Amino acid sequence: MSTTITLTINGIEQPVAVELGESLLEVLRREGFTSVKHGCDTGDCGACAVLLDGDAIDSCMILAVAADGRAITTVEGLETDGRLHPLQEAMIDAGAVQCGFCTPGTVMSGIDLLSRNADPTEDDVKAALAGNLCRCTGYVKQVDAVLAAARVMKGGPDVGSG
Amino acid sequence: MQLTHLQSYVRPTDLPAAIDALRFGGRGTRLMAAGTDLVLSGSDEITGLVDLAGLGLSSVEDRDGTLAIGATTTLTDVMQDVATGTYLDGVVARMLQRVGTPPLRNAATIGGNLVRRQPWSDIIPLFRALDATVTVFDGEHQTMAIGELYEQAAHLTGAILTEIQLPRPPIGTAAAFWKFARSEVDVATLNCAVMLHTDGDRCTAARIYIGATPRLAAAASGAEETLRGAQLTGNAIADAARTAAGEIETGDDLRGDAAYRTRLVGVGVTRCLMEARDRIREVRP
Amino acid sequence: MSDPVDSQGFAVVGHNEPKVDAYALATGKPVFAGDVNHDDALHIAFLASKHAHARIASIDTSRAEALDGVALVLTHENTPATMYTTAGQGYPEPSPYDTRMFNPTVRFVGDRVAAVAAETPEIAHAATKLIDVTYEALPAVLSIDEALAPDAPIIHGEETATGIHDAAHNIVSVVNVDIGDVEAGIADSAVVVDTTCETQYAQHVPIEPHVVQAYLDNDGRLVLLTSTQVPFHVRRIVARVLDLPVHRIRVIKPRVGGGFGAKQEILLENVTGLVTLRTGRRAIAELSRPEEFVSSRTRHPMRVRVRLGAREDGTLRAVDMEVISNTGAYGSHGLTVMSNAGSKTLPLYNRAPDVRYHGRTVYTNLPVGGAYRGYGATQGYFALETAMDELAAKLGMDPVEVRRLNHIRVGETSPIFAAIGEGKPGVEQTVGSCELERCLDIGAEEIGWADKRGMRYRDGPWVHGVGMSIHMQGSGIADVDMGAATIKMNDDGSFNLLIGATDLGTGSDTILGQIAAEVLGVPLAKIVVYSSDTDMTPFDVGAYASSTTYVSGNAVRRAAEEVRAQIVAVASAMLEEDPDGISLDDQHAIGASGERVSLEEIALRSLYGTDQQQIGATASFVGDESPPPFLASFAEVAVDVETGQVRVLDYVAVADCGVAINPHAAEGQVEGAIANGIGYALTEEMLFSSHGRVRNPTLFDYKIPAAPDLPRIRAILVDSYEPTGPMGAKSVAEIGINAPIPTIANAIYDAVGVRLKNSPFTAERVLAALDAAT
């Protein structure tokens, strides 16, 4: 059974044709937002994380129809005025992007954290990234990147990265 | 596609409409909060969904010491609410910190967790130990002890869980929660929740629930009984832990075998009782 | 963190250049094989065996074929019977040819029975359930001991299989090396330890599962866009299996979402390619997470016995290692992983005159082993470094000191280097760089060894302990692995670097670009790196055996030096100066006089002006040795003596990888490998039912470490210079993963006095060991 819903994806409100039983993940990938990855389809890896009304969620665990009328942000939508989000820049500078498959989802969880806690500790960051599995980095440089982004977003000197 | 047989989806905005949609939807119609489990179930049996997200049931409220939680409040919103943080020293927030992952907690709801009755639920044993009450709507509102959700399997058929109340704790009350898992983000191999009521140094009543045994949480009634009227000494705690380990039936699954789980029962009860006792002492030196 | 002090005077090498692909990855560009959206693609789903061992008596696909939307069903009845190995190794592969695309006999739960190509993934999946298969069950072999039992069922009795050592006894391969007389050496030893360790089934868990797209180009050639570590081996093996000329296939490797060895394997390319050849349509195959666990590849579980004999002063007198490796249902990497359990471990302790290595690999009806970061060394080091710790305890010596007394040093060799190779004898070599002593000093200092060892600090039920181990690996397979690079110069003084080397997320595109930039005197931004496309780039064996930095890196250096010579020749004519006095720096050729000419001017002259030519070169490299990187590993753990749970509180890994071309990337390799190893040590284990079915093939049930499970892993790179390496570099990718199992086992011993000899060290196992000790 198909229907048409309205999603605001990266700031652009648009009608989207979906099957009732489809996950948000499937729909976003079909619509071309391929940063949203299939890693496990069981809500365990976080590679499909997106922001739904500002909160990071695993898009494999949500029906697309349940997101009707809501706002979704993916990493494709983070660039503003030709500038990457500070966390994207920090991930690159810290050497936190290895294979990069988990990077978009990890960035989403990092942004969610920074929206709730502008001054996180290392343990706060680790707890915030608990749902984003990475097999390449051992999380060291990812955690550094989130901490560095927090400093940049507070307007302080970016003393820790690069 | 996850739910290949899904034919209808509605998001009603009031409870009567939701009940109607459920009743007239037919056998394959289910209530859905966030849907995180439903989506993953991939069940062919589901033909209709009634999404509860439009009912305005997402809130956390301190009602004169009682913590009232709307059924569709996300775990994150419960965990980060100020009222949750102060309720019984923040035991609910500490427990929720160990549930799932941040993206899951941002979606999954407190009511969904209670209704899904997954045996490893961390929320169910704690809420049972805290003597929670729940309000359901089946045309009219009705409030009952949380245990009725689990002791009468069919109770919620045709009804919607709307709110959970954690009662105002009397003075001299403390609670603790303990979870053993293979890793930081795994579900429990075993969990344990305790609430102690005390009067001076004596325990007047105890609630002890053990979950993920690997079955759904159950009370350690014998252990609760040994503590009634007892001084909370090391010996009394050890007695209670031994009794709990003897009475709680455990089983095997890939997270642990029965004998190991029985060991964990003793450890969990001991640690929870000691923590709860210490919390009482902290407020009443 | 600022760039480390640059002791070699490099301008680009040794600096933390951002990865050349980082922007595309951080912004979610469609750079992975599964990211290309095509509505017209056929989707492939697989039917897997539910039996551990069975003959397919009959298979009827008519109901599946009749389903609307099904384009093709493949089984053993309509696919090539060509025998091959899925192991993506150099030709001829040292793995047996014991595999068909679809086998008429299934040999593990998860073995491939059929594939369906259909218009949607849902239809393909539904159609697999309409394939009617009648199985004739055969007795199954579900452990090493059952495989070696006198009347064991034979797993590979088919006459068409080749390269199996002794199929009648389920023995895939045997390696026996005897140097001196180990029994005499043991008898002559003052102290002897004898220890046996067993490792578990584990999976690589790349976050991107295997995925392939196949399509025909406008000339009808088969194009495979595949998440692989070995594009050139894919082309060669698929060509043979599908009976196509190599030149009719193009393999393109886009970005890869992690491999760790799992993608050194030809699993999906032949099936996807065949669907496209038969239907003329684009086809895509993507493993689900459960399929990735069960039906891709795993780490070979091993039982390793080590006997050590030492003199009273602690120097080793004799070393004996006996290995039985379980390759599962097929012999992929069966010989070489087992060989590496000895060849990458035993040379570390070269003091002992008497050394023996006896290894066997056996078949079982369980999931298939394959290449997995560490490649046998991981399994071998568990037993070896546990035995060294036991030896230290018996001698009453500090474990660090026992290692210091015995480890190999610069200028030294080991007879094992020459004795054990990969399917052929190894290569003699002398160690040219080894900073292990400094690694030990730094590691011991950082972990607080002197203060913490033996102290058993107690915090409630948690008892603390520290443990350590040391390691070496290699840098490519000497005399086997070849990499090549092409560099050509463009109008603006930039360069294209074309490499067969396969970046699977490690950053090799970046570090190879840094090597080229260093030689050519340009910033990395002036090197356009393009890798791993069999039509466009020169050959490279691919990303495995810790080869890329050393083998491909040397090829890049050579190509860049040839290009530099061409540039200098042009500059010599332009500057009218002797070429010997001309150097390249800052995007200029600079004469002895100080006169400069820009690379852009040189390029424009060459392309459009005088003596016109394309400045460019292709160069190749084969290592005639495989310089080992070294690692000293230290951990502090806490053991909950009431539950048995182990937490890693601190981890220090000090590595000698020669010059780190890109320190961030090198640290990242160590950090990631240690993290993976901690998971392997503590939680990761594939569990089996009594019928051989994997019980936990999901990330819900199989736990890899998440961020809060790990301490801040401290990777420290020591200054070192490998004389044969490109800019002094050697490998760093694999070595770290060998360390956590023995390091944590030894730390648990320090904390609570029990030795864990079966990995992983789950809480339940640790508690059982504590119970047994009291």
Structural domain range at position B24: 8-53
Looking at the fold, whether B239 and B198 belong to one and the same domain comes out as yes
ipTM over the 0.85 cut-off: yes
At C142, the pLDDT band (50, 70, 90 cuts) reads: very high
pLDDT tens digit string along B70-91?
999 999 999 999 999 999 999 9
Residue A91, pLDDT above cutoff 70: yes
* Domain count within chain B: 3
Distances (CA, A) of C143 to A63, C126, C146: 43, 34, 5
Provide the pLDDT for residue B154. Answer: 57
Rounded distance between C-alpha atoms, residue B201 and residue C574, angstroms: 97
Residue A159, pLDDT above cutoff 90: no
Q: Does B153 touch chain C (CB under 8 A)?
A: no
pLDDT tens digit string along C607-625?
999 999 999 999 999 999 9
Rounded distance between C-alpha atoms, residue A105 and residue A37, angstroms: 8
Q: Does C364 touch chain B (CB under 8 A)?
A: no
Using CB atoms, which chains have 3+ pairs under 8 A with A? B, C
Structural domain range at position A102: 86-153
As given in the structure block, the two tokens for residue B201 are 């140094």
A88 vs C contacts (CB less than 8 Å) = 26-27
Residue B14, class by beta-carbon neighbours within 10 Å (0-12 exposed, 13-18 middle, 19+ buried)? exposed
Q: Does C505 touch chain A (CB under 8 A)?
A: yes
Looking at the fold, whether B162 and B97 belong to one and the same domain comes out as yes
pLDDT tens digit string along C485-496?
999 999 999 999
Nearest residue on chain A to C668, judged by CA atoms? A137
Percentage, residues of chain C above pLDDT 70: 99
Note whether C643 contacts B180, CB cutoff 8 Å. yes
Q: Does C762 touch chain B (CB under 8 A)?
A: yes
Q: Which of B9-13, B22-26, B46-50, C559-563 has the lowest mean pLDDT?
A: B22-26
As given in the structure block, the two tokens for residue B178 are 């303990």
Closest Cβ–Cβ partner in B101, B183, B257 for C709: B183
Provide the pLDDT for residue A155. Answer: 85
At C247, the pLDDT band (50, 70, 90 cuts) reads: very high
Nearest residue on chain B to C678, judged by CA atoms? B183
Residue C448, pLDDT above cutoff 50: yes
Residue C37, pLDDT above cutoff 80: no
On whether residue A101 sits in a domain, the answer given is yes
Provide the pLDDT for residue B153. Answer: 61
Beta bridge partners of B198: B203
Q: Is-contact C652 C709, C-beta < 8 A? A: no
Looking at the fold, whether A58 and A14 belong to one and the same domain comes out as yes
Mean pLDDT for chain C overall: 97
Indicate the DSSP class of residue C629. P
Q: What is the pLDDT averaged over residues C63-90?
A: 98
- The CATH number of the domain holding residue B34 is 3.30.43
Looking at the fold, whether B123 and B138 belong to one and the same domain comes out as yes
Pure H helices in C115-252 = 121-128, 144-148, 182-187, 231-242
Looking at the fold, whether B200 and B226 belong to one and the same domain comes out as yes
Instruction: Tell which of A76, A98, A128 closes a domain.
Output: A76
Note whether C708 contacts B185, CB cutoff 8 Å. yes
Instruction: Tell which of B132, B166, B200 closes a domain.
Output: B166
Rounded distance between C-alpha atoms, residue C634 and residue C649, angstroms: 11
Give Cβ neighbours of residue C406 (< 8 Å, ≥ 6 apart): C314, C315, C316, C349, C351, C388
Note whether C706 contacts B263, CB cutoff 8 Å. no
Q: Is-contact B120 B95, C-beta < 8 A? A: no
Rounded distance between C-alpha atoms, residue A103 and residue C24, angstroms: 11
Looking at the fold, whether A50 and A92 belong to one and the same domain comes out as no
Closest Cβ–Cβ partner in A21, A66, A109 for B103: A109
Q: Does C506 touch chain A (CB under 8 A)?
A: yes
Q: Which of B199-203, C232-236, C511-515, C577-581 has the lowest mean pLDDT?
A: B199-203
Three-state SS at A149: helix
On whether residue B2 sits in a domain, the answer given is no
On whether residue B1 sits in a domain, the answer given is no
Using CB atoms, which chains have 3+ pairs under 8 A with C? A, B
At C1, the pLDDT band (50, 70, 90 cuts) reads: very low
Residue with the two structure tokens 């220090």? C652
Note whether B183 contacts C642, CB cutoff 8 Å. no
Q: Does B256 touch chain C (CB under 8 A)?
A: yes
* Domain count within chain A: 2
Strand order in the sheet with B29-32: B8-10, B48-51, B29-32
On whether residue A104 sits in a domain, the answer given is yes
Looking at the fold, whether B49 and B66 belong to one and the same domain comes out as no
Task: Kindly report, as residue ranges, where domains of CATH 3.30.365.10 are found in chain C.
Answer: 22-31+482-622, 140-204+300-421, 432-474+625-774
Q: What is the DSSP string of C551-578?
A: IIHHHHHHHHHHHHHHHHHHHHHHHTS-
pLDDT tens digit string along A95-131?
999 999 999 999 999 999 999 999 999 999 999 999 9
pLDDT tens digit string along C656-702?
999 999 999 999 999 999 999 999 999 999 999 999 999 999 999 99
Q: How far is CA B283 from the centre of its chain?
A: 26
Provide the pLDDT for residue C424. Answer: 85
Note whether C699 contacts A35, CB cutoff 8 Å. no
Architecture of domain C42-138+205-295: Alpha-Beta Complex (3.90)
Q: Which residues of B20-54 are buried (b: 16+ CB within 10 A; e: fewer)?
A: ebbeebeebbbbbbbbbbbbbeebeebbbbbbbbb
User: Considering only CA atoms, which of C301, C375, C360, C207 is closest in space to residue C760?
Assistant: C301
- What is the rounded (10 degree) CA torsion for C312, C316, C318, C321? 130
Q: What is the pLDDT averaged over residues C594-615?
A: 97
User: Considering only CA atoms, which of C482, C492, C447, C498 is closest in space to residue C468?
Assistant: C447
Mean pLDDT for chain B overall: 95
Percentage, residues of chain A above pLDDT 70: 96
Closest Cβ–Cβ partner in A1, A56, A65 for B106: A56
As given in the structure block, the two tokens for residue C508 are 């090799």
Pure H helices in C134-249 = 144-148, 182-187, 231-242
Percentage, residues of chain C above pLDDT 90: 98
Looking at the fold, whether A91 and A44 belong to one and the same domain comes out as no
On whether residue A71 sits in a domain, the answer given is yes
For chains B and C, count residue pairs whose Cβ atoms are closer than 8 Å. Answer: 40
Residue with the two structure tokens 């949203």? A36
Provide the pLDDT for residue C39. Answer: 80
Residue with the two structure tokens 């060894």? C449
Q: Does A61 touch chain B (CB under 8 A)?
A: yes
Q: Does C115 touch chain A (CB under 8 A)?
A: no
Shortest distance between the Cα of A111 and any Cα of chain C, in A, equals: 13
On whether residue A81 sits in a domain, the answer given is no
Provide the pLDDT for residue A156. Answer: 64
- What is the rounded (10 degree) CA torsion for C589, C590, C591, C596? 90
Beta bridge partners of C361: C173, C325
- Interhelix angle C763-773/C740-752, nearest 10 degrees: 40
Instruction: Tell which of B126, B142, B166 closes a domain.
Output: B166
Q: Is-contact C469 C381, C-beta < 8 A? A: yes
B5 vs A contacts (CB less than 8 Å) = 21
Rounded distance between C-alpha atoms, residue B193 and residue B185, angstroms: 19
C767 vs B contacts (CB less than 8 Å) = 260, 263
On whether residue B117 sits in a domain, the answer given is yes
Q: Mutate which of B183, B192, B278 to disrupt the C interface (most C C-beta within 10 Å)?
A: B183
Note whether A92 contacts C205, CB cutoff 8 Å. no
On whether residue A66 sits in a domain, the answer given is yes
On whether residue B152 sits in a domain, the answer given is yes
What CATH code would you report for C432-474+625-774?
3.30.365.10
Residues 187-206 in B contacting C (C-alpha not used; CB under 8 Å)? 187
B101 vs C contacts (CB less than 8 Å) = 706
Q: Please, what is the end-to-end C-alpha distance for chain B in angstroms?
A: 59
Provide the pLDDT for residue B285. Answer: 45
Q: Does B254 touch chain C (CB under 8 A)?
A: yes
At C5, the pLDDT band (50, 70, 90 cuts) reads: very low
Q: Please, what is the end-to-end C-alpha distance for chain A in angstroms?
A: 51
- The CATH number of the domain holding residue A144 is 1.10.150.120
Closest Cβ–Cβ partner in C122, C703, C709 for B1: C122
Q: pLDDT higher for C172 or B41?
A: C172
Looking at the fold, whether B198 and B271 belong to one and the same domain comes out as yes
Note whether A21 contacts B104, CB cutoff 8 Å. no
User: Considering only CA atoms, which of C393, C377, C582 is closest in space to residue C470?
Assistant: C377
Annotation: CATH topology of C140-204+300-421? Aldehyde Oxidoreductase; domain 4 (3.30.365)
C643 vs B contacts (CB less than 8 Å) = 180, 263-264, 267
Rounded distance between C-alpha atoms, residue C695 and residue C688, angstroms: 5
Note whether B1 contacts A116, CB cutoff 8 Å. no
As given in the structure block, the two tokens for residue C366 are 């369980």
Provide the pLDDT for residue C333. Answer: 98
At C2, the pLDDT band (50, 70, 90 cuts) reads: very low
Beta bridge partners of C133: C59
Task: Kindly report, as residue ranges, where domains of CATH 3.90.1170.50 are found in chain C.
Answer: 42-138+205-295
On whether residue B3 sits in a domain, the answer given is no
- The CATH number of the domain holding residue A19 is 3.10.20.30
What CATH code would you report for C22-31+482-622?
3.30.365.10
Residue A162, pLDDT above cutoff 50: no
Q: Does B185 touch chain A (CB under 8 A)?
A: yes
Looking at the fold, whether A72 and A16 belong to one and the same domain comes out as yes
On whether residue B44 sits in a domain, the answer given is yes
Rounded distance between C-alpha atoms, residue B212 and residue B120, angstroms: 4
Q: Please, what is the end-to-end C-alpha distance for chain C in angstroms?
A: 48
Residue C643, pLDDT above cutoff 90: yes
Helix and strand element counts for chain A (H, E): 5, 5
